[in-house]
C-alpha cells in the first residue's frame, strides 16, 4: 500500500512539469480570448459603453414606449388650459375689460394659440431627416458603427429611433420624435410660443388666481369644525360651480407658471446654442475640441457658425426682410437651408461675404 502511494505521489520534477503545463495552458487560453475579442477601436469609452449597455437599452425602450404617452399628455394639458381660458376667463374679459384690451386679448391669445398648435403639429409630424443608405451617394463621410452606413457631417446616431439623424440635436420624448435638420425650427418655435403663451396666461390671470386662491382658503375654513363665536361673520358659502371655477383658475395659473419657468429655461438654452451655431450634441463635442486646441495654444473655430445674427437668420430661414413677418411671425412650412448632407454657405451669408471677397 505504501509502495502504491509513493508511486502516485508526484515527485519534485513531475510537480514542476505540471505547473509549467498549467502556466502554458493559461497563457494559451488568454491569447485565444484576446485574439477573439480584439478590436482596434476598443478604449475606455467603449468599455464603459459596454458596461452601461443594459441601462441604455432600458432607457431607450422606456422612452420609445412612453413617447406616445408624453404627446397625449402635452395635448391633454394644453387643451385643458385652452378650455379653461374659453369657459372661465374669456367671458369675464368680454364683460369687464374696455374694448381696446378686449381686442388685444382676442388678437394676441388666438395668434399665440395658432403658433403653438402649428409648430407642435409640424414638430411631431416632420421627419428630422435621415442620410441615404447607399454608400455611393456620399463622399468623404464617416461610417456609423451601429447602422454600418455613411454618416455625413453633423449627423449622429439616435439609439431610441435606432437610426442616424441629420444635424441631430436630441431625441425629444415630448414630441416622440428626433429633433434634427428638418424639424429643429419647429421644435424651437414650439418651445418659444408655448413659453410666451404660459407667461401670457400667468400674467393676465394673476389677479384672478389671487382671488380664487383666497376663496378656496375661505371655503376650506368654512368646511372645518366651527370654532368661531356666534358674533363672527360666517364665511360665504360657494356653489359647486363657483368652487369649480376657483379650482380651475388655480390649476391654470400653477400649471402655466410652472411650464413657463421650466420651458423658458430650456428655450433660453436652445437660443444660446442657436446663436453659437451649435446643436446640443455639438456643444459637448466643440467644448472638448476647444479645450484640446487650447492646450496646444490654438483657437477653435466652429465651421457652422456664421456670426450670432446670421446664425439666427439661417436657422429661421430669413433671406429677405419680409421673411421676418411671413416666416417668423406667421406659420410657415418653409424648408431649412441645404439638404443636411453637405454644409455649403447659406445664400444670405454668401451674399454678405461676396463684396468682401471681391475687395
Rank residues 184 and 313 by Cβ distance to Zn ion and give the closer one: 184
Rank residues 63 and 352 by Cβ distance to Zn ion and give the closer one: 63
CB atoms under 10 Å from CB of 145, counted, come to 10
Rank residues 157 and 247 by Cβ distance to Zn ion and give the closer one: 157
Which residue stretch of 136-144, 202-210, 263-271, 350-358 sits at the interface with Zn ion (rule: CB under 5 A)?
136-144
Q: Residue 139 in contact with residue 86, Cβ under 8 Å? A: no
Q: How far is the CB of 53 from Zn ion (least distance, A)?
A: 16
Which residue stretch of 41-49, 55-63, 167-175, 195-203 sits at the interface with Zn ion (rule: CB under 5 A)?
167-175
Q: What are phi and psi of 254, to 5 degrees?
A: -65, -45
Q: Give the alpha-carbon dihedral of 147, 152, 154, 155, to 10 degrees.
A: -20
Q: What are phi and psi of 146, to 5 degrees?
A: -90, -40
Which residue stretch of 156-164, 263-271, 307-315, 341-349 sits at the interface with Zn ion (rule: CB under 5 A)?
156-164
Residue 164 interacting with Zn ion (CB under 5 A): yes
Q: Is residue 331 classed exposed, middle or buried when 0-12, 13-18 and 19+ CB atoms within 10 A define those classes? A: middle
- Where are any strands of DSSP class E within the chain? 142-144, 149-151, 156-158, 163-165, 170-172, 177-179
Cell readout for 57 is 437599452
Residue 316 interacting with Zn ion (CB under 5 A): no
CA distances from 132 to 150, 277, 335 (A): 8, 24, 19
- The count of residues interacting with Zn ion (CB under 5 A) is 10
Catalytically active residues are 172
Q: Residue 52 in contact with residue 59, Cβ under 8 Å? A: no
**Residue of 20, 21, 146, 288 that binds Zn ion (CB under 5 A):** 146
Rank residues 138 and 147 by Cβ distance to Zn ion and give the closer one: 147
From 295, 292, 270, 267, select the one nearest 283 (Cα to Cα). 270
Rank residues 154 and 171 by Cβ distance to Zn ion and give the closer one: 171
Site for Zn ion in 172-201 (CB under 5 A): 178
Which residue stretch of 46-54, 62-70, 100-108, 140-148 sits at the interface with Zn ion (rule: CB under 5 A)?
140-148
Residue 147 interacting with Zn ion (CB under 5 A): yes
Residue 138 interacting with Zn ion (CB under 5 A): no
- What's the CA gap between 54 and 36, in Å, rounded? 22
**Residue of 119, 171, 327, 337 that binds Zn ion (CB under 5 A):** 171
> What is the binding site for Zn ion (CB under 5 A)?
144, 146-147, 157-158, 160-161, 164, 171, 178
Amino acid at each position: 500500500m505504501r509502495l502504491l502511494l509513493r508511486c502516485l505521489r508526484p515527485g519534485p520534477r513531475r510537480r514542476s512539469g505540471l505547473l509549467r503545463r498549467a502556466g502554458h495552458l493559461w497563457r494559451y487560453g488568454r491569447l485565444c480570448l484576446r485574439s477573439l475579442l480584439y478590436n482596434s477601436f476598443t478604449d475606455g469609452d467603449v468599455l464603459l459603453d459596454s458596461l452601461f449597455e443594459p441601462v441604455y437599452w432600458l432607457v431607450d425602450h422606456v422612452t420609445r414606449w412612453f413617447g406616445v404617452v408624453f404627446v397625449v399628455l402635452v395635448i391633454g394639458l394644453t387643451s385643458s388650459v385652452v378650455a379653461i381660458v374659453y369657459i372661465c376667463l374669456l367671458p369675464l374679459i368680454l364683460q369687464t375689460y374696455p374694448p381696446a384690451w378686449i381686442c388685444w386679448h382676442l388678437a394676441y391669445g388666438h395668434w399665440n394659440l395658432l403658433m403653438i398648435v402649428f409648430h407642435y403639429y409640424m414638430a411631431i409630424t416632420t421627419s428630422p431627416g435621415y442620410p441615404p443608405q447607399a454608400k455611393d451617394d456620399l463622399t468623404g463621410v464617416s461610417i456609423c458603427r451601429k447602422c454600418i452606413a455613411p454618416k455625413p457631417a453633423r449627423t449622429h446616431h439616435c439609439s431610441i429611433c435606432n437610426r442616424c439623424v441629420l444635424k441631430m440635436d436630441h431625441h425629444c420624448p415630448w414630441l416622440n420624435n428626433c429633433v434634427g435638420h428638418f424639424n429643429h425650427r419647429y421644435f424651437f418655435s414650439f418651445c418659444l410660443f408655448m413659453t410666451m403663451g404660459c407667461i401670457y396666461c400667468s400674467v393676465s390671470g394673476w389677479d384672478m388666481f389671487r382671488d380664487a386662491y383666497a376663496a378656496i382658503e375661505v371655503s376650506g375654513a368654512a368646511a372645518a369644525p366651527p370654532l368661531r363665536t356666534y358674533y363672527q361673520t360666517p364665511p360665504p358659502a360657494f356653489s359647486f360651480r363657483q368652487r369649480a371655477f376657483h379650482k380651475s383658475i388655480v390649476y391654470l395659473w400653477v400649471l402655466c407658471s410652472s411650464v413657463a419657468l421650466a420651458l423658458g429655461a430650456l428655450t433660453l438654452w436652445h437660443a444660446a446654442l442657436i446663436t453659437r451655431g451649435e446643436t446640443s450634441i455639438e456643444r459637448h463635442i466643440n467644448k472638448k475640441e476647444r479645450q484640446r486646441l487650447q492646450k496646444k495654444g490654438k483657437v477653435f473655430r466652429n465651421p457652422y457658425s456664421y456670426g450670432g445674427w446670421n446664425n439666427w437668420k439661417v436657422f429661421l430661414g430669413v433671406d429677405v426682410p419680409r421673411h421676418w413677418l411671413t416666416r417668423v411671425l406667421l406659420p410657415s412650412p418653409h424648408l431649412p437651408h441645404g439638404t443636411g448632407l453637405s454644409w455649403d454657405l447659406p445664400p444670405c451669408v454668401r451674399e454678405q461675404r461676396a463684396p468682401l471677397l471681391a475687395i
